[in-house]
Structure 1
């Protein structure tokens, strides 16, 4: 049995820990930036104050989430050079330029217009400010595209060769960027981000309605969130099906591990194992509950389609089925709950009870973090299902790790854990405190009334802050 606490597995656990924290914030930023763009566009089109109030309410939350996403992303980048230097050395000539494109396009676009979006509403014209908001929203989408292009290439590598020194090099960058799975992974992730924000917004609105704060702004954001749930959740189910078909073609062992199938199906097709306990040692799934032919129908859209089994490859080449078997089912189960809530909201809207049905509000509040849990489960399914490879079928994970001993990785992991829980815990707590307050009429956005002050200027000199205004409370005593 493989030791679970050697340097290799601890390095994997550390990267999994940091990426689990990181993925939440960019997903939140992607969806919330688009939501803010829609709110500001509706305000400009209709002139309704409620849209401006919601924009100013959510932009404060966006600024904190965006900042935490940037910080957590920097930590992940450092790990390529510390714990995974062999991967960076062997695959760097291929993925390095793609990640640089993300910085040169998406990150610069976001950084260039973020200040205008956060602080410029009273300083620039309405159209210019809306343009800045659109650029930030577009930048978050571009960032998702480039990062998912890299990850998709790791799942379905294309457009590269391998030199005599074992290093990979690009032969066709169009194939590297637009690899066989990027066109299903990018929409799948973007839709997941929209669902994360829709259900968080809906949960916040439900919280305030249940507490008796049913203001027009609360009603508006709940209505918009439920429209997104009703439209995007079914679309995500369809996109998930396309993603599964793509994985069946390019990563059949991932599908076999997700389904808990050990033997390839015969002429009678493959049953769908609803529940069971995959047993890696005995090479079987225990206590399984099956639906005949259902797996063939879902994966091949035919009654007796062939479904792969884990025994088709050596044991050393199999993903760890006990984990992704359940993370996949958790993701799918939450997905259908989201569809159910969307349908429930449509029924309540049709009956004129969207703002009065407390069962709907309780359900929306209960499921407010469901898409975030589904996102984490889906990411675990994707990444663990790629094992034992870093670059699927090309570079094994054991050959990607840095030659670092267990004490060094254990120390850095412990430091990361402490710092992450303190820093990001404080950030999340602050976001929750902002959400706990309902949006008000005439809501103010990110503070823009802080005066500028040049360090070292003595009060009373030209350019200093007059006593009793702005920063007077932190002026040195006279």
Structure 2
């Protein structure tokens, strides 16, 4: 059977980009989380923030490495599988991707080294500055990637010269309102992904009665951040819908799922399509709400899928259902974060009780919600753009390398599947072991019981110069000296946070 190189190339790119996006969605938010923890440690002097920083730094290092490895092949595929796209759009895409290396990778590589090896070797303010620079680097990386993708979604600031996309106005490309709606939407998605991973980790430790002080901090801060950011994310999601309606009618009508133009328009919650007959066999819809969501009134006319020529329509199932999964998970995350905030304000997580088990289980089981929401949102955007690679200008079928054979494309796809499966399995196992081990323990309240011995030395040691016992308990006098040296000072920030966050562990 002669397989289509275009189909294999699309499957390969979809697989690699879907695999890769998991890691930036985590590390972008995790870099900001590390900067927050280091700042809190400096302001309050509470060792619990330092212990959490050292713990999550290890997780960040592994996830960052996996993200770099999985992302390297993306650039190669532009040359191997998508040669025509590289040739025609290279004058615009090339500089945008190069700027990511000049800014994001420069900051990340330089200051990440300080985070790993600079503790105790640079002043506290310089170490905190390094955390900010790493967070800024991951943000720059997201910006340049979204700038490139947003130009492919809604191309602006260019002119065609002998079939080549030539930049006419870089300011128009970089200041495009579509970019400045999609970039914050992606950034907030990454922050929420990390916030729920942090909160779920705290819930897991509370369920297991381990690391109780750190667990309360993670649960309270993770859910608190999510409770504030999700409404903002919903607002940017609505703005994304507005740009889609204005610039990408084919994607918009497919997401809405209405085949015929309606006035007033229903909001389809669920539908089962009959694509050949251009209708839905089964629908669950709310009257009038489609017009209100899209136009802000209950009488507006909304176009149907049939208004788009059949050859310009994207596949129905992925954009339609992917969008609903993303929105549904967002509402679940909103409910969990607000309930968690309410329980926290009522003191349900104070010592000695870990908190309502039903809620802790709900929070723990919600840990993948951010990843799934980001992935389904990305699939909605990318599959919904089809059959265009540069929307309304260049079709995906025109972008594939002409000389690419089915055998070469299939071989590379199998190779990527095998290698990525190995990398993902090994990385996931190692991350699980890090999470299961938990933060380093500095006292009985941190672990929910006596620690039973000295903790191992590492880059997060509160006093790297002191000797540590190996394989046995530290001398009592040494433990007492360490606890005295690490005693926090009382200040406004500490009084504001109060003991309810860490259970007195600090």
TM-score (norm 1): 0.90
Distance (Å, rounded) in 1 between the aligned partners of 2:165 and 2:62: 38
In structure 1, the partner of 2:193 is 196
- 2:411 aligns with 411
1:40 matched to which residue of 2? 38
Q: Secondary structure at the match of 2:371?
A: helix
Q: CA RMSD in A?
A: 1.8
1:70 and 1:446 map into 2 onto residues whose CA distance is 24
Change (3 A) 1:120 1:332: same
Q: Cα offset for 1:378?
A: 0.3
**Structure 2: distance between partners of 1:229 and 1:86:** 42
Work out whether residues 270 and 294 of structure 1, in 8 Å CA contact, stay in contact via their aligned partners in 2: yes
Corresponding residue for residue 105 of structure 2? 107
- Alpha-carbon distance in 2 for matches of 1:340, 1:432: 27
Whether contact under 8 Å (1:200, 1:369) holds in the other structure is: yes
Q: Is the 8 A contact 2:119 2:459 kept in 1?
A: no
Contact 1:106/1:139 (8 A) holds in 2 = yes
Aligned counterpart, 2:21: 23
Gaps of 5+ in 2: 443-454, 462-469, 471-506
Q: CA offset at residue 329 of structure 1?
A: 0.6
Report deviation, 1:256.
Answer: 0.5
The corresponding residue for 1:393 is 392
Q: 1:150 to 1:446 in 2, by over 3 A?
A: farther
Three-state SS of the structure 2 residue aligned to 1:262 is: coil
2:220·2:341 contact (CA, 8 Å) conserved in 1? no
- Aligned counterparts, 1:308-347, within 5 A: 308-347=303-342
Equivalence for 1:384: 383
2:286 pairs with 1:291: yes
Extract unaligned runs of 5+ from structure 1: 450-468, 470-478
Could you tell me which of 164, 168, 172 is aligned with 1:171?
A: 168
Is the CA contact (8 Å cut-off) linking 2:54 and 2:460 kept in structure 1? no
Relative to structure 1, is the Cα distance of residues 184 and 5 closer, same or farther in structure 2, using a 3 angstrom cutoff?
A: farther
Q: Specify which structure has the bigger relative contact order, considering alpha-carbon pairs within 8 angstroms and separated by 6 or more residues.
A: 2
Aligned partners of 2:21 and 2:346: how far apart in 1? Answer: 38
**C-alpha deviation, 1:92, in angstroms:** 0.6
In the other structure, the counterpart of 1:116 is: 114
Cα offset for 1:31? 0.2
Pick the aligned partner of 1:224 from 221, 225, 249: 221
Give 2:448's aligned residue: none
Structure 2: how far apart are the matches of 1:77 and 1:139? 19
Residue 268 of structure 2 is aligned to residue 270 of structure 1: no
- Between the two proteins, the alignment pairs up a number of residues equal to 445
Tell me the secondary structure at the aligned position of residue 436 of structure 1.
helix
Offset of residue 351 of structure 1 = 2.0
- Offset, 1:214: 4.7
8 Å contact from structure 1 (residues 53, 444) kept in 2: no
The corresponding residue for 2:430 is 430
CA distance in 1, matches of 2:75, 2:140: 18
Q: Quote the residue 1:459 is aligned against.
A: none
The match for 1:187 among 184, 196, 202 is 184
SS in 2 for 1:277: strand
* 2:49 match: 51
Matched residue, 1:245: 242
Structure-2 change in CA distance of 1:421 and 1:197 (3 Å): same
**Does the 8 Å CA contact 1:116/1:129 hold for their aligned counterparts?**
yes
Give deviations 1:110-137, integer Å, cap 9, x for gaps: 1111100111012111111111111000
Q: Provide closer, same or farther for how the CA distance between residues 262 and 437 of structure 1 changes in structure 2, counting only shifts above 3 A.
A: same
Instruction: List per-residue Cα deviations over 1:179-232 (Å, max 9, x = no partner).
Output: 231111111011100111011111111111111115211111111111012111
Describe the shift of the 1:412–1:418 C-alpha distance in structure 2 as closer, same or farther (beyond 3 A).
same
State how far apart, in whole Å, the 2-side matches of 1:56 and 1:336 are. 32
Aligned partners of 2:54 and 2:459 also within 8 Å: no
Could you tell me how far apart the structure 2 residues matched to 1:308 and 1:155 are? 20
* Distance in 2 separating the partners of 1:327 and 1:13: 17
3-state SS of paired residue (2:277): coil
The alpha-carbon distance between structure 1 residues 4 and 130, as it changes in their structure 2 partners (threshold 3 A), is: farther
Name the SS for the 1:273 alignment partner: strand
Offset of 1:440 from its aligned partner? Answer: 2.8
Q: Deviations over 1:362-385 (max 9, x none)?
A: 110111111101110000000001
